[in-house]
Amino acid sequence: MTETVTLGDDLTTSAVGFGAMALTPVYGDVDDAESMATLHRAVDLGVTFIDTANVYGGGANEQLIAGLLADRRDEVTLATKFGIVGNPADRAAGRPAARGDAAYVRQCIDESLGRLQTDVVDLYYMHRRDLTVPIEETVGAMAELVAVGKVRHLGLSEVTADELRAAVAVHPIAAVQSEWSIWSRDVERQVVPTAAELGVGFVPYSPLGRGFLTGTVTSVADLTETSDFRRNLPRFSDEALESNLAVVDVIRAVADEREATAAQIALAWLRYRADEIGIASVPIPGTRRAARVQENLGSLDVALDDDQLARLNAAATAVSGNRFADLGWVSAGRE
């Protein structure tokens, strides 16, 4: 049994979660049999917090996870999301990219429950903010799902501090999910401190830097072999990549000192940073391979001294490029 962390609203999960978006074709072809084996191995190891969304694989990711839940529902803290209805091309063309109206909230939970083949979702996130709808309306509709027993806890993804305050005034929020890593620290300015103040937990996605620490991106040339998703992120541009790969060198040096892997150091740094700010935090690294799940869990045993933390923090100041081309799509663009 792995360690646990209690987020907001008394939601207790494994101290490391699993980001199931990795089991969709966004990073290349996937094998469903391997994916299912990885999910089962994660739960075997004590990683019980499984994170998905209705848009991952167009619903296929939820259907995949239904196979895990069929025999192990009681072992899983299940999180899914609603709200994204478009893609980057739609956003660029000015078409709606998110929906947060009450009718859509009710529609999406029923569709997700059907794909997941379960009666209740443990943590239901608003995936992105619909700026045409007051957040109070969206969260109010989500709260109704708690009242009728379809959802146990509420979460918000990529919200600003002000949006979080408005949401908490309507219903307790268990967690905010946003990108947070040694490469992506903008949430530390306002969102994370506000969540800590309000007793809301934090769930960092992409805590390993979207490929920097998995061996898939080690040079500009590697981007021709990886997904369009990464190639279109500013952090992976020709101008920014060299600076961002230099951060990897510092992480690997600390990893050598600690006889750990680079991924374990990055996750340990995030744990120390959350403790320093005073917030309950559960990262959700994703992977397709069971061995990586075990590696990520090993980060909980990694200790960092003051000198190593200082070097890692200093390396973070060299990060180049925004984490999304369209910053309006994430909290950093609306703060």
Which residues are known catalytic residues? Answer: 56
Q: Measure Cα distances from 1 to 13, 73, 145 in Å.
A: 12, 17, 31
**Under 8 Å between Cβ of 156 and 164:** yes
Q: Measure Cα distances from 41 to 68, 116, 284 in Å.
A: 11, 19, 15
**Under 8 Å between Cβ of 155 and 7:** no
**Under 8 Å between Cβ of 35 and 50:** no
Sheet of 201-205, strands arranged across: 18-19, 49-51, 77-82, 121-126, 151-157, 175-179, 201-205
> Which residues lie closer than 8 Å to 66 by C-beta, 6 or more apart?
115, 116, 117, 118
Q: Which of 88, 106, 113 is nearest to 98 (CA)?
A: 88
**Under 8 Å between Cβ of 88 and 232:** yes
Residue 183 has which token pair?
Answer: 């490469």
